[in-house]
């Protein structure tokens, strides 16, 4: 494939951007080579600046559940922009997006819109601490909740990709307020509560881990966390920035039948524009300013372009059969790759929930980050490059999720599986 313009832009980017990128995982360090530069997207396909086309399974890391440049979303943003890009005072669209979120996620009675998933998680934790009057939080190894101080402790995502266990710049005393446990290990979390229950404000968890690859909760695990937090007066926060509207229309909490105290959201609710949200029962949410004493603010929160895109996306996604098509596409892809892996004798473990999933070069099962970390990352890098050469863009890291959209057709899936068969044969 041609790469002349992308290579030129990559050299220019490294002169003015740190590492040439504005988010670490875009740099392709885990898979080798340099990233291509996107020029446009339509449906399930990205076109780069050199004119190469790729079937896209990254989808801007999850938000584009309808694919690129979906006409109704484009039109909604255009209409909103013509009226003004930002006001700093309330707009009706903020209400309508909050109503739609509440309709789809019954655990939420009130919403606060913010600008990113990171902002949502750090704000939800502040609210949990303010509500309970406690300082400690519990998170899980490999779960990534954004780059806020105190959350970059045994996190996944780019930290896992780059092999960084934590981040300099975070005071040790602050990091000590974060307790960690392996995912799917009930004995470990019970031991933490036995030692610290009176000081634990909340558990924050990706109910489906999406930033160490995709790792599913074992049966009964999430319910046990729900029971434990209730028993000790701590809050349970579901970070559904990734799994919201991906694991199910009502998120992982709907799929697994669990009611968290607080939920954080992002990605899909912005339809590709920067957005985040957190919500829960009014009795908790009303501790936020201006009603309560817990302060959190944002100049661009509830931005009219983001709310327009989010509303248009959710309107389409909730039409009969739309969500199901995204899940079915990934199911067909997973089954096809499973057959190819058997044909070639290459050990793999595939995970899927809804329209998010992961292919691990590991015989499995994978229950937690420590097991995911045993995957053959070198083989994944070769797989990634082979697929990219054949016009298929997958997550540039073994430890990231891939996604499908309503735009992925049978033709896209067939082309992807044809490419995968060729690459697996080379890997065998």
Mean pLDDT confidence for 165-179: 73
Whole-number pLDDT of residue 153:
60
HSE, CB side, 13 Å, CA atoms: give it for residue 193. Answer: 21
Whole-number pLDDT of residue 163:
40
Q: What is the mean pLDDT of the chain?
A: 94
Active site residue ranges: 144, 239, 267
In the predicted model, is pLDDT for residue 158 greater than 90? no
- Token pair for residue 181? 């446990």
Percent of the chain having pLDDT more than 70? 96
* SS3 assignment for the chain: CCCHHHHHHHHHHHHHCHHHCCCHHHHCCCCCCCCCCEEEEEECEEEECCCCEEEECCHHHCCCCCCECCHHHHHHHHHHHHHCCCCCCCCHHHHHHHHHHHHHCCCCCEEEEECCHHHHHHHHHHHHHHHHCCCEEEEECCCCCCCCCCCCCCCCCHHHHHCCCCCCCCCHHHHCCEEEECCCCHHHHHHHHHHHHHHEEEEEECCCECCCCCECCCCCHHHHHHHHHHHHCCEEEEECCCCECCCECCHHHHHHCCCCCEEEEEHHHHCCCCCEEEEECHHHHCCECCCCCECCCCCCCCCHHHHHHHHHHHHHHCCCCHHHHHHHHHHHHHHHHHHHHHHHCCCCEEEEECCEEEEECCCCCCCCHHHHCCCCHHHHHHHHHHHHHCCEECCCCCCCCEECCCCCCHHHHHHHHHHHHHHHHHHC
- The structure's pTM equals 0.94
pLDDT per residue as tens digits for the range 376-392: 999 999 999 999 999 99
Query: Domains, the chain, ranges and CATH?
Result: 4-69+321-427 (3.90.1150.10), 71-317 (3.40.640.10)
Residue 419 near residue 391, CB atoms below 8 Å: yes
Whole-number pLDDT of residue 379:
98
In the predicted model, is pLDDT for residue 162 greater than 70? no
pLDDT per residue as tens digits for the range 270-295: 999 999 999 999 999 999 999 999 99
Whole-number pLDDT of residue 25:
87
Among residues 29, 35, 27, 28, the alpha carbon closest in space to that of 6 is found at 35
In the predicted model, is pLDDT for residue 154 greater than 70? no
């Amino acid at each position: 494939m041609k790469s002349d313009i992308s290579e030129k832009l990559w050299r220019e980017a490294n002169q003015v951007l740190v590492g040439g990128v504005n988010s670490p995982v875009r740099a392709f360090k885990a898979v080798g080579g340099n990233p291509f530069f996107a020029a446009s997207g339509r449906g399930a396909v990205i076109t780069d600046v050199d004119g190469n086309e790729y079937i896209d399974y990254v989808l801007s890391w999850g938000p584009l559940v309808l694919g690129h440049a979906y006409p109704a979303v484009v039109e909604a943003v255009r209409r909103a922009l013509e009226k003004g890009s930002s006001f700093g005072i309330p707009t009706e669209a903020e209400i309508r997006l909050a109503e739609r979120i509440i309709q789809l996620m019954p655990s939420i009675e009130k919403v606060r819109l913010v600008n990113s998933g990171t902002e949502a998680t750090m704000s939800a934790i502040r609210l949990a601490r303010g509500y309970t009057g406690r300082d400690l939080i519990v998170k899980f190894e490999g779960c990534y909740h954004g780059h806020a101080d105190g959350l970059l402790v045994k996190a996944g995502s780019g930290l896992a990709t780059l092999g960084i266990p934590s981040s300099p710049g975070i005071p040790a005393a602050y990091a000590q307020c974060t307790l960690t446990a392996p995912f799917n290990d009930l004995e470990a979390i019970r031991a933490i509560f036995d030692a610290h229950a009176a000081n634990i404000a909340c558990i924050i968890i990706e109910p489906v881990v999406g930033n160490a690859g995709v790792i599913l909760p074992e049966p009964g695990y999430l319910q046990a966390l729900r029971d434990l937090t209730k028993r000790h007066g701590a809050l349970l926060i579901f970070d559904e920035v990734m799994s919201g509207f991906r694991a199910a229309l009502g998120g992982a909490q709907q799929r697994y039948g669990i009611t968290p105290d607080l939920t954080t959201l992002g990605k899909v609710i912005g339809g590709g524009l920067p957005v985040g949200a957190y919500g829960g029962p009014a009795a908790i949410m009303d501790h936020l300013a201006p009603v309560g004493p817990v302060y959190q603010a944002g100049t661009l929160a509830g931005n009219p372009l983001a709310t327009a895109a989010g509303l248009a996306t959710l309107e389409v996604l909730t039409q009969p059969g739309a969500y199901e098509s995204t899940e079915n596409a990934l199911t067909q892809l997973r089954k096809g790759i499973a057959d190819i892996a058997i044909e070639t004798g290459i050990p793999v473990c595939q995970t899927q929930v809804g329209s998010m999933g992961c292919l691990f070069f590991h015989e499995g099962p994978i229950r937690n980050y420590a097991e995911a970390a045993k995957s053959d990352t070198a083989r994944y890098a070769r797989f990634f490059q082979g697929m990219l050469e054949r016009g298929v863009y997958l997550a540039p890291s073994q430890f990231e999720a891939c996604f499908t959209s309503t735009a992925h057709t049978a033709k896209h899936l067939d082309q992807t599986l044809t490419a995968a068969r060729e690459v697996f044969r080379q890997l065998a």
